[in-house]
Structures are given as structure tokens and as C-alpha cells.
Amino acid sequence: MSLFDAMFDPRGWKSMVSETLGRGSPKLPELKKGLSREINQTWLEDFIFDFVRNDSGNRLEQAFSSEPIYQAPLIGFVRGTDPLFQEYKKIIGPFHHTPLEVMAWASEVQGIAAPSPEQIGVVSFILPLSDAIAKDNARETEWGSARWGQARLFGEIFMRKLMQTMIIQLAKGAVLAAAGDFMPDFRKKKYPGPGWASPWSHRHIAFAAGLGSFGMHDALITEKGDAHRCGSIVVALPLTPNRTRLLHYRHNCKQHRTGDCLVCAKRCPINAITEKGHNKDACSKYVMKSIPRNIFRNNVVIYSCGLCMTGTPCAQKIPV
């Protein structure tokens, strides 16, 4: 891809607008009648695994076109009525939606009555980045690598494609499903109090589903580390939790457990991470400066960094 083609590649611009402003998100598909008995937790797991394994979108491009973006996923289920979702309105902010609110919106769009709270579940999944992407970015000290930049864009597109395809297939089986970040009011912005946040946080949903805990850099540390992207959808199915949620929100963080790590802070080129946590405002301003560099050096339109998520003890595993 030439520099000209990269600058005017609509995928990058569209992805950034969708992710930050919620514009351009897909509409809910038509819901069929008659529940399919084949759709259950096993079906959901098999669908996600098969999609990650076989869909052509799980590939980098240009010089890395033969390389996959993601490894095998991690999947967690949680009940829509879990009390933690209501607590998130205090922890994150009152603007953060609960699964019941997401399902109420989806039901209104479909013109049907919302399912009972007990019939609502949440599917959360972690897509670990390939070893090549994580190790490539670990060698950088100022800006994200070319592989990381591509994974940031094409990996986000793939993750959203996975969620939308699953919602479509569930609708064909008469199962109502929706993604919190596909809702019309989704925005990533600075809120009074919490600062940068959104009405639906895939990372917090993953914590609720028992898939990991947060590090000092605010990334989610899973059994496959923190070099990943995560997604989630709300479904009108009574799902049974398949993982045990960690008792502390920083349980997997080595700095939290031993007090002698902070490698993520040392990796940050602008010192936005300290023993007190992550300065999201400073981080955001720095990351946005990466757009011209990614266009002119890496031929991809996206903002990226990820230095604090690679080259660390928690990059690809839970640190010992």
C-alpha cells in the first residue's frame, strides 16, 4: 500500500470515529421467530473459537500479510443480574450501562418486550495478540511498532466484525443479542470525576466474567497477559459463569502483590504511569500524536502505542 493509499484508506478513519464517537456502528439485524435449541454456551464458545481460527480478517496486511493477529481466545460468561454491574455505576460512573439496559435498548429497537433479568447473560472474550506482535512492540521505546499499529487497526475491525457476526447468527436463531458499544449513545470522552471513560467498558465486563484483573497501566492482565483486545455482547440467554472472579481488581498485577515492579511505568515514554496509577489524560494526548507517524512510517491510519503492555512481566502471562 502506497503512502497515498494509506492516507485515504477509509478503514482507519472509520474505525477511530466508531471507537470514540460511536458513529457508524452496525444496526441490529432482524430477529427471527422460534428459538433454536442448538444455541447455548457450547455454541457460543465454538462460534468464537471457529471465527478467530478461520475468518480471513484475522490477518495483518502489507509486509506482514501472512501473519495472524490473534491467538486462540479466552471466553467468560457472567449473569446479566450480577450485582457488580450495578456497582460499576459507582466505580466507573452512572453513565455506564448495565446488561439489562443494553437488552432493554435492543428490545425497544426490535419492538418486543424485554426478556426477564434472569434470562439475560453476557459473553466476554479476550483475543490475545500473536507472539510476533507482542515481541515486536517490546523492542520499541518511544512509539509503537509497525506490527502493533496494524494490529491496533485491523484487530479492532476484526473484533467488531466478530461481535456483529455473532449478533447476526444469534438473531437467525431467534436469540436477541446486542453490543454495548454499538448503542447510539456510545462515546469515549472525559466525564467529570472519572475522566476518560465510555458507557460500555469491555475490560470491566471481562473482569466481571473472571477473565483477569487490572494492572497499574489500566490494562487487563489475563492468563495470556495484557497484550490483547477484548469484546463482549449481551444475549437473551441464561448463562452460567464458567470462571471465578478475582477478589481484588489488581490481583494479577505484580506491583500490587509485591510492590517491586512498575516495569510498565518505566516503559511509558511520558511517565504517565506511577505507583498511584495511570494518567489517562496524558496518555491520550501522547497516543493521538502517533497518528501522523503511523500514516507516514507504517502506512496505516490509526493511533497506537502499547509500550506499557509489552516488554513487561505481564505482557503475555500472569507474572510470577
> Nine-digit cell at 57?
480478517
Residue 319 lies in a domain: no
CA 116 vs CA 8, 181, 183, 234, 247: distances in Å = 46, 22, 20, 13, 28
Distance CA 314, CA 309 (A): 8
The pLDDT, as a whole number, for residue 25 is 82
Closest C-alpha among 109, 151, 98 to residue 127: 151
The pLDDT, as a whole number, for residue 219 is 97
Closest C-alpha among 282, 281, 280, 300 to residue 291: 300
The pLDDT, as a whole number, for residue 194 is 76
Residue 314 lies in a domain: no
The pLDDT, as a whole number, for residue 30 is 92
The pLDDT, as a whole number, for residue 5 is 64
- One digit per residue, the tens of pLDDT, for the chain of length 320 reads 565 566 667 787 777 777 777 767 888 999 988 766 689 999 999 999 999 999 999 999 999 998 999 999 999 999 999 999 999 999 999 999 999 999 999 999 999 999 999 999 999 999 999 999 999 999 999 999 999 999 999 999 999 999 999 999 999 999 999 999 999 999 888 888 777 889 999 999 999 999 999 999 999 999 999 999 999 999 999 999 999 999 999 999 999 999 999 999 999 999 999 999 999 999 999 999 999 999 998 889 999 999 999 999 999 999 98
The pLDDT, as a whole number, for residue 283 is 95
Closest C-alpha among 25, 208, 48, 27 to residue 125: 48
Residue 317 lies in a domain: no
Residue 260 lies in a domain: yes
- Domain tally, the chain: 1
Residue 158 lies in a domain: yes
| Domain that residue 143 falls in | 3-309
Specify whether the CB–CB gap between 303 and 293 falls below 8 A: no
> Nine-digit cell at 88?
460499576
Distance CA 239, CA 233 (A): 12
Residue 181 lies in a domain: yes
Residue 315 lies in a domain: no
Residue 316 lies in a domain: no
The pLDDT, as a whole number, for residue 207 is 98
Strand partners, 129: 70
